[in-house]
Structure 1
């Protein structure tokens, strides 16, 4: 029995089935794919890793900026420690100056899904670029939906709480060295409409890098403050646009999105925050995915599932910021 089989047994009822027969049977009409959506900062990466750790899954990044190499702080890439050994695809692989379109994403993701399925693993797609996900799922001839059955998980956080968190996250990114990181990518003739320079956190620093060396310290500090404030505002605007897009996919296109409210996770701290994550996000998600994989009308998450999970250390908590 391979690793995934052993891990999947934790999601089966006693006396359950062989996952290879139920989930990845080649006779099945459609293979299954899990998609984790949500606005920036809601905890998508944390959820995808929690699920992948116990589903023998691999993760495909669908964030259009995180696909590029470099600017790990500015693009808020999940670190190797936070990945907890879960294989990640389309993450930090592309030349920073290259173009990467929705069509490129669809082509690469389709190949990656087939590769993951070929290893008897479950593909989990996660990221905030909803236009890429829409292009993949609702392609012009619906070829994707004819091959795959999708389970959509959508992590939500109330707007005031989310905007506050996203703004504080920018301050933390600055503390972690974002300014010096972005400085390496500054060029006076840079095209901010191409490649990784489109990322929030890059064009906002242009005036600071361009004029800063010629200004007094007070004026330079004011330029830096203005740049940081602009980054915060643009991140909040991004979150609002992402939420509008998700609402359109649900209300206009009829996508069956399973909402998961993580607001309490961000309102609380420490142990209480982790308990809220388990109660409101992880456990409901595990149940939804289990029902999706095994077609059970009702299912309870096994009591021993929580005990088998990786303890929440600082790396796991940090992943909640993605």
Structure 2
């Protein structure tokens, strides 16, 4: 068996991460590090006695908990779990006055600040993406180098080094769970219906009562970035007696539909991340063990996942091959402004879709007829 293994189970909602994580932890005396929210969090019964960490611990208005903070807390937990001789199963800054200064800026002002110090990074991020804009500004202020320079240096330094020699945990397995879109959409619909039956309304109302002032202050930050709450804000802002009215039920149902839509959109971004960050690394500069598991057949999720883990722990390495190359990361993120529609478009592929879209063509046609 591999020494000190760490298993990462990743994938979008409805692919079976929670069930497989519990099954792996039960078989190999492990514990789970997670970051789920709302009614979609694993229940006590579903956890089957397996300890789950990094759940129900963060204030609703917190916008300081980012990926680096999650990493720091997860690393500490992994060390603690290893001391208990168990396998960790991961389901996957400026200070003081400067913080206050950046907090006080509107999204557009913050983006302009980034554009002054790092135009290249500014051209790759939408002004509404406040976290990425702010992070790039903080990088420049704390290091004197632009984010673009840091990325260039990392690529240069890492180009000829085997990624496995740079992993914090060399014995790491990434299981990416995915399913056919039709199957996934059906599961998602069922998941939302299950959340409704488990008391989604009451949980949302209780949470809103407790955090109403915090939520109004944090805007699109903190928990408002997550799928599962922001979609119901129009319904929650109704007077309590109006929430069960026809108008209220329409807003609640719309919130449920928005959760489904946003989760589907998020799954597309997750697939892109998996391909670009884990599969498309050059040559030997790729992680040794990555395995995509098709979970379209719900009956075989656990058995297939456990077989992969057992084989990997016994010494087998897995390497998924990337699909055919599409637009590269830079092209996918490049912001292009349509002067006709006064709109920012992210990526060359989306730009072509925009040009061919009905709204753009309608405006062009209308302006042509006016000249």
Give the TM-score band, short-chain normalised: 0.5 to 0.7
Matched, 1:291 2:311: yes
Q: Residue 146 of structure 1: CA displacement?
A: 4.5
Give the CA deviation at 1:165: 1.4
2:21 equivalent to 1:48: yes
1:174 aligns with 2:200: no
Q: Mark the CA change 1:192 to 1:234 in structure 2 (over 3 Å): closer, same or farther.
A: farther
Secondary structure at 1:145 match in 2: coil
- Does the alignment pair 1:222 with 2:256? no
CA distance in 2, matches of 1:144, 1:183: 46
C-alpha displacement of 1:192:
4.1
CA shift for structure 1 position 214: 8.0
Q: Which residue of 2 aligns with 1:238?
A: 266
Distance 1:220 1:120, change over 3 A: closer
How many residues end up aligned between the 2 structures? Answer: 240
Alignment of 1:269-280 (within 5 A): 276-277=299-300
The match for 1:38 is 11
* Distance in 1, Cα, partners of 2:278 & 2:169: 21
What residue number does 1:269 align with? Answer: none
Q: 3-state SS of the aligned residue for 1:200?
A: coil
- Structure 2 gap segments, 5+ residues each: 93-153, 318-371
The residue matched to 2:303 in structure 1 has which SS? helix
Q: Are 1:208 and 2:235 counterparts?
A: yes
Q: Is the 8 A contact 1:156 1:260 kept in 2?
A: yes
Structure 1 contact 208–220 (Cα < 8 Å) conserved:
yes
| 1:90 is the counterpart of 2:54 | yes
Tell me, what secondary structure is at the counterpart of 2:90?
Answer: strand
Comparing both chains, which one has the higher relative contact order based on Cα–Cα distances under 8 Å and sequence gaps of 6 or more?
Answer: 1
* Larger-Rg structure: 2
| Runs of 5+ consecutive residues of structure 1 not aligned to the other structure | 1-21, 25-30, 128-137, 266-275, 298-322
Post-superposition shift, 1:212? 4.8
Q: Deviations over 1:227-278 (max 9, x none)?
A: 222222112212222222222233323444212111122xxxxxxxxxx32x
Contact 1:155 1:261 in 2 (8 A): yes
2:276 is aligned, of 248, 253, 274, to 248
